[in-house]
Protein backbone atom coordinates (compact mmCIF):
# COMPACT_ATOMS: atom_id res chain seq x y z
CA UNK A 1 0.00 0.00 0.00
CA UNK A 2 1.17 3.56 -0.73
CA UNK A 3 0.01 6.77 0.93
CA UNK A 4 -0.33 8.76 -2.27
CA UNK A 5 0.92 8.85 -5.85
CA UNK A 6 3.31 11.55 -7.02
CA UNK A 7 2.87 11.26 -10.78
CA UNK A 8 5.27 12.49 -13.46
CA UNK A 9 3.81 12.60 -16.99
CA UNK A 10 6.50 12.89 -19.67
CA UNK A 11 4.91 13.82 -23.00
CA UNK A 12 1.82 16.04 -22.98
CA UNK A 13 0.42 15.35 -26.45
CA UNK A 14 -2.89 13.64 -27.15
CA UNK A 15 -2.37 10.56 -24.97
CA UNK A 16 -0.32 12.26 -22.26
CA UNK A 17 -3.08 14.83 -21.93
CA UNK A 18 -5.72 12.13 -21.51
CA UNK A 19 -3.68 10.34 -18.83
CA UNK A 20 -2.95 13.59 -16.96
CA UNK A 21 -6.60 14.68 -16.96
CA UNK A 22 -7.63 11.25 -15.68
CA UNK A 23 -4.95 11.50 -12.99
CA UNK A 24 -6.54 14.66 -11.68
CA UNK A 25 -9.84 12.78 -11.33
CA UNK A 26 -8.19 10.07 -9.21
CA UNK A 27 -8.16 10.89 -5.52
CA UNK A 28 -5.02 8.84 -4.91
CA UNK A 29 -2.83 11.13 -7.06
CA UNK A 30 -1.53 13.68 -4.55
CA UNK A 31 0.97 15.44 -6.84
CA UNK A 32 1.14 15.91 -10.62
CA UNK A 33 4.19 17.01 -12.59
CA UNK A 34 4.32 17.48 -16.36
CA UNK A 35 7.05 17.59 -19.00
CA UNK A 36 6.98 18.24 -22.73
CA UNK A 37 9.68 19.57 -25.04
CA UNK A 38 7.02 21.85 -26.56
CA UNK A 39 6.65 24.40 -23.77
CA UNK A 40 3.23 25.84 -24.81
CA UNK A 41 1.73 22.32 -24.81
CA UNK A 42 3.11 21.54 -21.36
CA UNK A 43 2.01 24.86 -19.90
CA UNK A 44 -1.52 24.59 -21.30
CA UNK A 45 -1.98 21.11 -19.86
CA UNK A 46 -0.58 22.37 -16.54
CA UNK A 47 -3.30 25.02 -16.48
CA UNK A 48 -6.02 22.55 -17.48
CA UNK A 49 -5.02 19.99 -14.81
CA UNK A 50 -3.81 22.43 -12.12
CA UNK A 51 -0.50 20.58 -12.19
CA UNK A 52 1.91 21.10 -9.32
CA UNK A 53 5.00 21.38 -11.53
CA UNK A 54 5.76 21.82 -15.23
CA UNK A 55 9.02 21.79 -17.18
CA UNK A 56 10.54 21.03 -20.58
CA UNK A 57 13.32 18.97 -18.97
CA UNK A 58 12.48 15.37 -18.04
CA UNK A 59 15.54 15.07 -15.81
CA UNK A 60 14.39 18.07 -13.79
CA UNK A 61 10.93 16.54 -13.33
CA UNK A 62 12.22 13.10 -12.33
CA UNK A 63 14.58 14.62 -9.76
CA UNK A 64 11.66 16.07 -7.82
CA UNK A 65 11.24 14.43 -4.45
CA UNK A 66 7.48 14.22 -4.88
CA UNK A 67 7.67 11.80 -7.82
CA UNK A 68 6.77 8.16 -7.07
CA UNK A 69 5.54 6.93 -10.50
CA UNK A 70 5.99 7.86 -14.15
CA UNK A 71 3.94 7.85 -17.35
CA UNK A 72 6.04 7.95 -20.54
CA UNK A 73 3.84 9.29 -23.35
CA UNK A 74 6.32 10.88 -25.74
CA UNK A 75 6.43 10.15 -29.49
CA UNK A 76 7.30 6.52 -30.29
CA UNK A 77 10.92 7.29 -31.12
CA UNK A 78 11.52 9.26 -27.91
CA UNK A 79 10.74 6.64 -25.25
CA UNK A 80 14.18 5.29 -24.42
CA UNK A 81 15.74 8.26 -22.60
CA UNK A 82 12.86 8.98 -20.18
CA UNK A 83 12.44 5.26 -19.49
CA UNK A 84 16.12 4.82 -18.65
CA UNK A 85 16.14 7.98 -16.53
CA UNK A 86 13.13 6.64 -14.62
CA UNK A 87 14.78 3.24 -14.19
CA UNK A 88 17.68 4.95 -12.41
CA UNK A 89 15.22 6.13 -9.75
CA UNK A 90 13.40 2.79 -9.57
CA UNK A 91 10.01 4.35 -10.33
CA UNK A 92 7.10 2.14 -11.43
CA UNK A 93 6.14 3.12 -14.97
CA UNK A 94 3.31 3.20 -17.44
CA UNK A 95 4.90 3.30 -20.91
CA UNK A 96 2.99 3.94 -24.10
CA UNK A 97 4.00 1.28 -26.60
CA UNK A 98 6.66 0.52 -27.67
CA UNK A 99 9.62 0.35 -25.29
CA UNK A 100 11.68 1.47 -28.31
CA UNK A 101 11.40 1.40 -32.09
CA UNK A 102 14.83 -0.25 -32.36
CA UNK A 103 14.84 -3.94 -31.34
CA UNK A 104 18.30 -3.80 -29.73
CA UNK A 105 17.38 -0.72 -27.71
CA UNK A 106 14.13 -2.41 -26.68
CA UNK A 107 16.08 -5.41 -25.38
CA UNK A 108 18.41 -3.11 -23.42
CA UNK A 109 15.48 -1.21 -21.92
CA UNK A 110 13.79 -4.46 -20.89
CA UNK A 111 16.98 -5.74 -19.28
CA UNK A 112 17.34 -2.50 -17.31
CA UNK A 113 13.73 -2.66 -16.12
CA UNK A 114 13.94 -6.31 -15.08
CA UNK A 115 17.36 -6.04 -13.46
CA UNK A 116 15.98 -3.39 -11.12
CA UNK A 117 12.76 -5.32 -10.49
CA UNK A 118 10.69 -2.35 -11.66
CA UNK A 119 6.95 -2.72 -12.17
CA UNK A 120 6.57 -1.38 -15.72
CA UNK A 121 3.47 -1.83 -17.87
CA UNK A 122 2.82 -1.03 -21.53
CA UNK A 123 -0.15 0.83 -22.96
CA UNK A 124 -2.24 -1.78 -24.75
CA UNK A 125 -5.56 -0.09 -24.10
CA UNK A 126 -7.79 -2.60 -25.89
CA UNK A 127 -7.18 -5.17 -23.13
CA UNK A 128 -9.58 -3.06 -21.08
CA UNK A 129 -12.59 -3.36 -23.36
CA UNK A 130 -15.28 -5.36 -21.64
CA UNK A 131 -15.74 -7.74 -24.57
CA UNK A 132 -12.09 -8.77 -24.60
CA UNK A 133 -11.92 -9.22 -20.83
CA UNK A 134 -15.00 -11.44 -21.04
CA UNK A 135 -13.56 -13.49 -23.92
CA UNK A 136 -10.33 -13.92 -21.97
CA UNK A 137 -12.29 -15.36 -19.04
CA UNK A 138 -14.31 -17.70 -21.26
CA UNK A 139 -11.06 -19.11 -22.66
CA UNK A 140 -9.64 -19.45 -19.12
CA UNK A 141 -12.78 -21.34 -18.15
CA UNK A 142 -12.10 -23.88 -20.88
CA UNK A 143 -15.18 -23.15 -22.96
CA UNK A 144 -13.21 -23.48 -26.22
CA UNK A 145 -11.20 -26.50 -25.16
CA UNK A 146 -7.75 -26.27 -26.72
CA UNK A 147 -7.32 -23.30 -29.07
CA UNK A 148 -6.16 -24.52 -32.48
CA UNK A 149 -6.41 -21.48 -34.76
CA UNK A 150 -6.82 -17.71 -34.57
CA UNK A 151 -7.59 -15.25 -37.38
CA UNK A 152 -7.16 -11.51 -36.84
CA UNK A 153 -8.01 -8.73 -39.28
CA UNK A 154 -7.50 -5.01 -38.62
CA UNK A 155 -8.53 -2.22 -41.00
CA UNK A 156 -7.37 1.31 -40.25
CA UNK A 157 -7.95 4.84 -41.43
CA UNK A 158 -5.01 6.30 -43.36
CA UNK A 159 -4.95 9.35 -41.08
CA UNK A 160 -2.97 7.30 -38.56
CA UNK A 161 -0.16 7.06 -41.12
CA UNK A 162 -0.22 10.72 -42.05
CA UNK A 163 -0.35 11.93 -38.45
CA UNK A 164 2.37 9.57 -37.22
CA UNK A 165 4.83 9.65 -40.10
CA UNK A 166 4.56 13.38 -40.82
CA UNK A 167 6.31 14.03 -37.49
CA UNK A 168 9.17 11.59 -38.13
CA UNK A 169 12.37 12.41 -40.00
CA UNK A 170 13.50 8.77 -39.79
CA UNK A 171 10.65 6.42 -40.70
CA UNK A 172 12.62 3.21 -40.31
CA UNK A 173 10.41 0.59 -38.63
CA UNK A 174 7.33 2.85 -38.67
CA UNK A 175 5.24 0.20 -40.42
CA UNK A 176 1.61 -0.87 -40.10
CA UNK A 177 2.59 -3.80 -37.86
CA UNK A 178 5.06 -1.98 -35.58
CA UNK A 179 2.96 1.17 -35.06
CA UNK A 180 -0.60 -0.14 -35.12
CA UNK A 181 -0.85 -3.89 -35.77
CA UNK A 182 0.93 -4.40 -32.46
CA UNK A 183 -2.38 -3.74 -30.68
CA UNK A 184 -4.29 -6.53 -32.41
CA UNK A 185 -1.26 -8.81 -32.20
CA UNK A 186 -1.04 -8.18 -28.46
CA UNK A 187 -4.73 -8.96 -28.07
CA UNK A 188 -4.42 -12.23 -29.95
CA UNK A 189 -1.29 -13.28 -28.03
CA UNK A 190 -3.01 -12.39 -24.75
CA UNK A 191 -6.00 -14.55 -25.67
CA UNK A 192 -3.62 -17.38 -26.64
CA UNK A 193 -1.70 -17.09 -23.39
CA UNK A 194 0.88 -19.85 -22.95
CA UNK A 195 1.48 -20.46 -26.66
CA UNK A 196 4.85 -19.46 -28.12
CA UNK A 197 5.36 -18.60 -31.81
CA UNK A 198 8.16 -20.53 -33.53
CA UNK A 199 7.85 -19.24 -37.11
CA UNK A 200 6.25 -16.45 -39.13
CA UNK A 201 5.79 -15.99 -42.86
CA UNK A 202 4.54 -12.61 -44.08
CA UNK A 203 3.99 -10.50 -47.18
CA UNK A 204 3.51 -6.72 -47.57
CA UNK A 205 2.26 -4.33 -50.26
CA UNK A 206 2.99 -0.58 -50.70
CA UNK A 207 0.95 0.58 -53.70
CA UNK A 208 -0.60 3.55 -51.84
CA UNK A 209 1.75 4.44 -49.00
CA UNK A 210 5.11 3.71 -50.55
CA UNK A 211 5.72 7.45 -50.87
CA UNK A 212 5.54 7.61 -47.06
CA UNK A 213 8.29 4.97 -46.81
CA UNK A 214 5.90 2.43 -45.36
CA UNK A 215 3.58 -0.40 -46.36
CA UNK A 216 -0.15 -0.34 -47.06
CA UNK A 217 -0.73 -3.75 -45.53
CA UNK A 218 1.04 -6.75 -44.06
CA UNK A 219 -0.42 -10.27 -43.89
CA UNK A 220 1.31 -12.98 -41.92
CA UNK A 221 0.94 -16.52 -40.63
CA UNK A 222 2.45 -17.57 -37.29
CA UNK A 223 3.00 -21.19 -36.31
CA UNK A 224 2.95 -21.75 -32.55
CA UNK A 225 4.99 -24.28 -30.58
CA UNK A 226 1.99 -26.63 -30.26
CA UNK A 227 0.99 -26.36 -33.94
CA UNK A 228 -1.67 -23.68 -33.45
CA UNK A 229 -2.00 -21.35 -36.46
CA UNK A 230 -2.39 -17.59 -36.04
CA UNK A 231 -3.19 -15.44 -39.08
CA UNK A 232 -2.45 -11.74 -38.45
CA UNK A 233 -3.49 -9.26 -41.14
CA UNK A 234 -3.57 -5.45 -41.11
CA UNK A 235 -4.10 -2.62 -43.57
CA UNK A 236 -3.75 1.03 -42.55
CA UNK A 237 -4.24 2.34 -46.09
CA UNK A 238 -8.01 2.87 -46.01
CA UNK A 239 -9.18 6.26 -47.31
CA UNK A 240 -9.22 9.16 -44.86
CA UNK A 241 -12.99 9.36 -45.27
CA UNK A 242 -13.46 5.76 -44.11
CA UNK A 243 -16.06 5.89 -41.30
CA UNK A 244 -13.83 4.12 -38.78
CA UNK A 245 -12.26 6.90 -36.69
CA UNK A 246 -9.14 4.76 -36.33
CA UNK A 247 -9.64 1.02 -36.68
CA UNK A 248 -11.96 -1.94 -37.00
CA UNK A 249 -10.87 -5.30 -35.63
CA UNK A 250 -12.16 -8.83 -36.13
CA UNK A 251 -10.86 -11.91 -34.31
CA UNK A 252 -11.96 -15.50 -34.77
CA UNK A 253 -10.77 -18.10 -32.24
CA UNK A 254 -11.40 -21.81 -32.88
CA UNK A 255 -10.84 -24.51 -30.30
CA UNK A 256 -11.43 -28.22 -29.98
CA UNK A 257 -14.74 -27.64 -28.16
CA UNK A 258 -15.95 -24.25 -29.34
CA UNK A 259 -15.44 -21.01 -31.23
CA UNK A 260 -15.53 -17.30 -30.39
CA UNK A 261 -16.13 -14.73 -33.13
CA UNK A 262 -15.39 -11.12 -32.16
CA UNK A 263 -16.52 -8.21 -34.31
CA UNK A 264 -14.99 -5.06 -32.87
CA UNK A 265 -15.72 -2.93 -35.94
CA UNK A 266 -18.11 -0.47 -34.21
CA UNK A 267 -20.59 -0.61 -37.06
CA UNK A 268 -23.50 -1.07 -34.69
CA UNK A 269 -23.78 2.70 -34.06
CA UNK A 270 -23.33 4.88 -37.15
CA UNK A 271 -23.71 8.62 -37.51
CA UNK A 272 -24.21 10.22 -40.94
CA UNK A 273 -24.44 13.99 -40.99
CA UNK A 274 -23.99 17.06 -43.14
CA UNK A 275 -21.83 18.32 -40.27
CA UNK A 276 -18.23 17.02 -40.44
CA UNK A 277 -17.47 14.35 -37.86
CA UNK A 278 -14.42 14.37 -35.56
CA UNK A 279 -11.17 13.86 -37.42
CA UNK A 280 -10.65 10.37 -36.09
CA UNK A 281 -6.97 10.09 -35.28
CA UNK A 282 -5.90 13.03 -33.11
CA UNK A 283 -2.34 14.23 -32.84
CA UNK A 284 -0.59 17.51 -32.08
CA UNK A 285 0.00 19.56 -35.21
CA UNK A 286 -2.08 17.24 -37.40
CA UNK A 287 -4.97 18.56 -39.46
CA UNK A 288 -7.34 16.08 -41.07
CA UNK A 289 -6.86 16.21 -44.86
CA UNK A 290 -10.59 15.74 -45.56
CA UNK A 291 -13.94 15.94 -43.82
CA UNK A 292 -15.61 12.73 -42.65
CA UNK A 293 -19.41 12.80 -42.75
CA UNK A 294 -20.01 9.23 -41.58
CA UNK A 295 -18.61 7.90 -38.31
CA UNK A 296 -18.57 4.51 -36.58
CA UNK A 297 -19.22 5.65 -33.02
CA UNK A 298 -16.79 4.08 -30.56
CA UNK A 299 -14.01 3.42 -33.09
CA UNK A 300 -11.59 5.87 -31.47
CA UNK A 301 -9.54 3.45 -29.32
CA UNK A 302 -9.09 5.57 -26.16
CA UNK A 303 -12.85 6.12 -25.82
CA UNK A 304 -15.29 8.97 -26.38
CA UNK A 305 -16.02 12.32 -24.78
CA UNK A 306 -19.30 13.06 -23.05
CA UNK A 307 -19.85 16.26 -21.09
CA UNK A 308 -16.14 16.95 -21.14
CA UNK A 309 -15.07 13.57 -19.73
CA UNK A 310 -13.48 10.64 -21.56
CA UNK A 311 -15.36 7.34 -21.24
CA UNK A 312 -13.99 4.06 -22.49
CA UNK A 313 -11.03 1.69 -22.23
CA UNK A 314 -8.35 4.32 -21.63
CA UNK A 315 -10.19 5.51 -18.51
CA UNK A 316 -10.38 1.91 -17.26
CA UNK A 317 -6.74 1.25 -18.12
CA UNK A 318 -5.43 4.39 -16.40
CA UNK A 319 -7.56 4.13 -13.26
CA UNK A 320 -6.71 0.45 -12.91
CA UNK A 321 -3.01 1.29 -13.09
CA UNK A 322 -3.46 3.80 -10.27
CA UNK A 323 -5.17 1.02 -8.26
CA UNK A 324 -2.23 -1.24 -9.06
CA UNK A 325 0.14 1.38 -7.62
CA UNK A 326 -1.97 2.33 -4.62
CA UNK A 327 -3.31 -1.05 -3.54
CA UNK A 328 -1.13 -3.63 -5.28
CA UNK A 329 -4.09 -5.20 -7.09
CA UNK A 330 -3.48 -7.59 -9.99
CA UNK A 331 -4.35 -6.03 -13.35
CA UNK A 332 -4.47 -7.17 -17.01
CA UNK A 333 -1.87 -4.63 -18.16
CA UNK A 334 0.76 -5.81 -20.62
CA UNK A 335 4.15 -6.25 -18.98
CA UNK A 336 7.40 -4.76 -20.28
CA UNK A 337 8.43 -8.27 -21.38
CA UNK A 338 5.20 -8.65 -23.37
CA UNK A 339 5.76 -5.23 -24.94
CA UNK A 340 9.25 -6.25 -26.04
CA UNK A 341 7.95 -9.58 -27.36
CA UNK A 342 5.26 -7.78 -29.36
CA UNK A 343 7.83 -5.46 -30.94
CA UNK A 344 10.02 -8.37 -32.02
CA UNK A 345 7.03 -10.27 -33.46
CA UNK A 346 5.81 -7.29 -35.49
CA UNK A 347 9.34 -6.68 -36.76
CA UNK A 348 9.75 -10.36 -37.58
CA UNK A 349 6.68 -10.04 -39.82
CA UNK A 350 8.27 -7.08 -41.59
CA UNK A 351 11.56 -8.97 -41.87
CA UNK A 352 9.87 -12.04 -43.34
CA UNK A 353 8.04 -9.86 -45.86
CA UNK A 354 11.33 -8.26 -46.86
CA UNK A 355 13.09 -11.63 -47.22
CA UNK A 356 10.15 -13.33 -48.92
CA UNK A 357 10.53 -16.43 -46.73
CA UNK A 358 9.63 -17.66 -43.24
CA UNK A 359 11.57 -16.38 -40.22
CA UNK A 360 12.29 -18.60 -37.22
CA UNK A 361 11.27 -17.32 -33.80
CA UNK A 362 12.23 -16.00 -31.34
CA UNK A 363 14.00 -13.49 -33.56
CA UNK A 364 17.38 -12.07 -32.65
CA UNK A 365 17.20 -8.27 -32.05
CA UNK A 366 20.57 -7.68 -33.73
CA UNK A 367 19.49 -9.60 -36.84
CA UNK A 368 16.21 -7.68 -37.00
CA UNK A 369 18.03 -4.38 -36.67
CA UNK A 370 20.39 -5.23 -39.56
CA UNK A 371 17.72 -6.82 -41.71
CA UNK A 372 15.25 -3.93 -41.44
CA UNK A 373 17.67 -1.12 -42.21
CA UNK A 374 17.00 0.80 -45.44
CA UNK A 375 18.86 -0.79 -48.35
CA UNK A 376 21.42 2.01 -48.67
CA UNK A 377 22.34 1.65 -44.99
CA UNK A 378 22.50 -2.15 -45.13
CA UNK A 379 25.08 -1.93 -47.89
CA UNK A 380 27.39 0.39 -45.99
CA angle 41, 106, 159 (to 5 degrees): 45
- pLDDT value for 120: 98
pLDDT for residue 331 is more than 60: yes
Q: What percent of the chain has pLDDT over 90?
A: 83
Is the separation of the CB atoms in 101 and 177 below 8 Å? no
Average pLDDT rounded to a whole number, residues 30-51: 97
Residues 6+ apart with CB under 8 A from 185: 152, 177, 232, 342, 345, 346
Q: What is the pLDDT of residues 265-289, one digit of tens each?
A: 999 999 999 999 887 666 666 677 8
* Residues 155-170: tens digit of each pLDDT: 998 888 888 787 777 7
d(CA 278, CA 194): 40
CA separation for the pair 112, 108 (Å, rounded): 6
Better pLDDT: 291 or 39: 39
pLDDT at 375 over 60: no
Does pLDDT of 377 surpass 70?
no
Give which of 316, 247, 301 is closest to 14, Cα–Cα. Answer: 301
| b/e code 249-275 from CB counts within 10 Å (16+ = b) | bbbebbbeeeebebebbbeeeeeeeee
> Please, which residues have CB within 8 angstroms of residue 86's CB and are 6 or more apart in sequence?
8, 62, 70, 72, 93
pLDDT (average), residues 123-140: 96
pLDDT band at 191 (very low <50, low <70, confident <90, very high): very high
Q: What is the DSSP letter of 363?
A: P
Provide the pLDDT for residue 283.
65
Residue 284, pLDDT score: 65
Element (H, E) at 6: strand 5-10
Average pLDDT, the chain: 93
Per residue in 84-117, pLDDT tens?
999 999 999 999 999 999 999 999 999 999 999 9
Encode 140-170 in three state secondary structure: HCCCCCCEEEEEEEEEEECHHHHHHHCCCCC
Range 292-316 average pLDDT: 93
**Rounded Cα–Cα distance for residues 10 and 24 (Å):** 15
Q: Using the predicted structure, report yes or no on whether residue 2 has a pLDDT greater than 60.
A: no
Percent of the chain with pLDDT over 70: 96
Predicted pLDDT at 1: 41
Q: With a cut of 90, say whether residue 48 has pLDDT above it.
A: yes
Q: Report which of 281, 196, 197 is spatially closest to residue 244, judged by C-alpha positions.
A: 281
What Å distances lie between residue 141 and 100, 134, 137, 148, 156, CA to CA?
Answer: 35, 11, 6, 16, 32
Residues 200-258 pLDDT 10s: 999 999 999 998 889 999 999 999 999 999 999 999 999 988 999 888 999 999 999 99
pLDDT of the residue at 93: 98
Q: pTM of the entire structure?
A: 0.93
Is 370's pLDDT higher than 70?
Answer: yes
Q: With contact defined as beta carbons under 8 Å apart, do 56 and 39 qualify? A: yes
Amino acid sequence: MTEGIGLAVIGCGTIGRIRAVLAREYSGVDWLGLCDVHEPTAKQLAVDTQADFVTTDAAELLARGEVTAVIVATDEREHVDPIMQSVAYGFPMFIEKPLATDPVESAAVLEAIESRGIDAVIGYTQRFRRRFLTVKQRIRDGQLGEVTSVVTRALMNRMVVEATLSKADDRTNLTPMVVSGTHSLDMSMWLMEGKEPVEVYARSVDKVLGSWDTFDATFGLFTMDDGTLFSMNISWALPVVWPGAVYGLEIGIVGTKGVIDIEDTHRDVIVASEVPQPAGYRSRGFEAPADRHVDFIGSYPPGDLSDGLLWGPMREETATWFNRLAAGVATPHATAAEGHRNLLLTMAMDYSARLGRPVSLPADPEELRRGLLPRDERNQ
